[in-house]
Amino acid sequence: MTGKRILIVGGVAGGASCATRIRRLCEEYEIIMFEKGSYVSFANCGLPYFIGDVIVEEEKLLVATPELFKNRFNIQVCSDTEVLTINRDSKTLTVRDLKTGVDRIEPYDALVLSTGSSAVWPLIEGIDLPGIHALRTIPDSRKIRSELPDMKHAVVMGAGYLGLELAENLVKRGVKVTVLQSSGQIMPTLDLEMARFMTTYLIQQGIDLRLNAKVIKFQRNADDRLEVSLTEGGSITTDAVMISIGVKPQTTLAVQAELSLGEQGGIRVNEFLETSDPFIWAVGDVIEVKNVLTGQWQLFPLAGPANRQGRIAAANIVAKLSGKTPPMTYRGVQGTSVCGLFGVTVATTGVNEKMLKAAGMTHFEKVYLHPGNHVGYYPGAKPIHIKLLYDTRNGMILGAQALGESGVARRIDVIASFIQMGGTVYDLEEAELCYAPQFGATKDPVNLAGMIAANQLRGNHPLAKWEELFDSNTHVSEDQDEAGQWLSLILQDPYEQAQIVDVRTEAEFAQKHIPGAVNIPLDALRQRLDELSREREVWVVCGVGQRAYNATRILQQHGFDVKNLSGGMQTYATFEEFDPSKRSL
């Protein structure tokens, strides 16, 4: 041994990857990991599926055991051990063995904090009653599973990825589920109109989903069941409540050691993942990370980034202890994530429109498209709903959101790679991707997204914004504040800003159309141009956008001021008055 000691507080993704990477880089250092719980490295992303019996054996959740760390990597794991204080002046930790209650001092040459995050528990009366759970650890999942035989109904508070995954797996176990979301949309990584696709689908799967629902009190009723009282009045009687309203960085040690924290409450690190102390690094859910597209600091508690951070920190620690320059920097996050629910995949990368507006970015545009996951003539084609955001100054890809039953993650992964390499929509339209009838199309959805956006930038495909269709005007009273209410009033009056032309067939138009629109099927458009005014803009719409694009090109070349309502009636359904019972994915 060289006498160099590296201590790592916390395991799971970031700490465990850091420890093993250090060992692969240097056989000589002494590496010790401290874990307050009994499990140093487990698949916390798999916990909802353990609840749902998709993962049947608990052992499958254990990524690595203390014995494996010792035998394979010569890393000592101290589980059931709490780190009480960091003593920066002496470069030591005070730790406590939770089984014996004995404290001891551990010196370090380098320290890594991978303390992770903890569930946010709302300050609500009765929150500590039996039957109210948060799912973060294996013992949490054991407790929930033990109550499943008597659980007929459960309330899930929070409609993020974890909350909805938990809801799905409870349904698989025969539990009726009510999901309460305090805001007006599920899945905050999505923009509202994209989230509405999934809202509709979840309701169709039997989830009792309630938006803008806030809990004010928990209590036990006369039957010893939980009573969940809501701000809007009324209550829900249930057998269990799952709290999934978010997580927060576990920074107790960092605060005690007076390390710098960021505005989001996480530990602030530099590009080498060093904290404000040059001998302390931090990785995983406990740190703030910089968004590579907006430059803003944020929390991004996912296992993928934590693993990469652990590797980078390890390389820099070994270099520093060897007197060398840190060889690796952390670029930040671009927000790539995926979730599967009831057979539908939801995936995102980059920034959404809400984030762009919050960051003050104005030079961006968006396109919607709804292509099949593969060619229509091959059996089993399913639509993918896509929203692409890009910079109008240079075509740089800013973000994408997609959902569908097949092929979604593949497309978002491709776009994520282009974003990381500084790609543009022009790169997307030229991307050479795998094609066979069962896998895609000669124009893959990724290509189509790039083509639509590139055509807009070249001036060949002007876009009208759906929001303009629903914005208020002087005919609407001030007390109307929801998109559906605006629509019913606005479209009673003749459009002043544009004439809406629906180029679908007469049968499609008769089935459903935008109020106030005129129907001129695409195949008859050239013969009926005299029916359109050249004094007003023409906004063209079809089913998903393809026929409207062809109509746009015809009208442009005949001198009309024309724009396409991107994504067609499929996108219109996400902006109109929200009625999930009338829609399908």
Rounded Cα distance between 302 and 294, Å, is 19
**Token duo for residue 97:** 């063995």
Q: Is residue 332 part of a domain?
A: no
Q: Are residues 489 and 519 in the same domain?
A: yes
**Token duo for residue 269:** 């690190």
Q: Are residues 315 and 374 in the same domain?
A: no
Q: Are residues 111 and 137 in the same domain?
A: no
Q: Are residues 139 and 240 in the same domain?
A: yes
Handedness of CA 173, 178, 180, 184 (dihedral sign): positive
Place of tokens 């629903």: 470
Rounded Cα distance between 249 and 117, Å, is 4
What Å distances lie between residue 524 and 97, 171, 294, 380, 511, CA to CA? 81, 50, 46, 32, 19
Residue 170 near residue 145 (C-beta atoms within 8 A)? no
CATH number of the domain enclosing 555: 3.40.250.10
What Å distances lie between residue 50 and 59, 270, 342, 472, CA to CA? 10, 37, 16, 48
Q: Are residues 345 and 409 in the same domain?
A: yes
Q: Is residue 327 part of a domain?
A: no
Q: Are residues 359 and 266 in the same domain?
A: no
Q: Is residue 331 part of a domain?
A: no
Q: Are residues 557 and 469 in the same domain?
A: yes
Stated pTM of the model = 0.90
Q: What is the DSSP letter of 287?
A: B
Q: Is residue 298 part of a domain?
A: yes
Q: Are residues 382 and 449 in the same domain?
A: yes
Q: Is residue 328 part of a domain?
A: no
Closest-CA residue to 203 (of 401, 341, 340):
341
Q: Are residues 482 and 496 in the same domain?
A: yes
Closest-CA residue to 246 (of 121, 367, 361, 154):
121
Residue 21 near residue 315 (C-beta atoms within 8 A)? yes
Q: Are residues 403 and 477 in the same domain?
A: no
Q: Are residues 308 and 404 in the same domain?
A: no
Catalytically active residues are 45
Q: What is the DSSP letter of 180?
A: E
Residue 147 near residue 240 (C-beta atoms within 8 A)? yes
Rounded Cα distance between 392 and 459, Å, is 11
Q: Is residue 394 part of a domain?
A: yes
Closest-CA residue to 574 (of 235, 273, 195):
195
**Residue 486 has what pLDDT?**
35
Residue-number span of the structural domain to which 41 is assigned: 5-117+248-321
Report the domain count for the chain.
4
What Å distances lie between residue 66 and 42, 46, 142, 457, 581, CA to CA? 11, 20, 21, 56, 52
What Å distances lie between residue 174 and 119, 153, 158, 206, 225, CA to CA? 26, 9, 20, 11, 18
Indicate the residue among 457, 474, 507 that finishes a domain. 457
CATH number of the domain enclosing 274: 3.50.50.60
What is the tens place of the pLDDT at every residue in 66-95?
Answer: 899 999 999 999 999 999 999 999 999 999
Q: Are residues 470 and 453 in the same domain?
A: no
**Token duo for residue 339:** 């979730």
Under-50 pLDDT residues of the chain: 1, 472-494, 581-585
Query: How do 344-350 and 208-211 pair as beta strands?
Result: unpaired
Amino acid at 326: P
State the DSSP H helix or E strand holding residue 78, giving kind and residue range, or none if neither: strand 76-78
**Residue 65 has what pLDDT?**
85
**Residue 494 has what pLDDT?**
41
What phi and psi values does residue 70 have, to the nearest 5 degrees?
-70, -50
Q: Is residue 573 part of a domain?
A: yes
Q: Is residue 276 part of a domain?
A: yes
Indicate the residue among 321, 348, 364 that finishes a domain. 321
Which residues on adjacent β-strands are paired with residue 191?
Answer: none
Rounded Cα distance between 392 and 436, Å, is 33
Indicate the residue among 457, 482, 510 that finishes a domain. 457
**Residue 579 has what pLDDT?**
53
Closest-CA residue to 411 (of 388, 379, 377, 378):
388
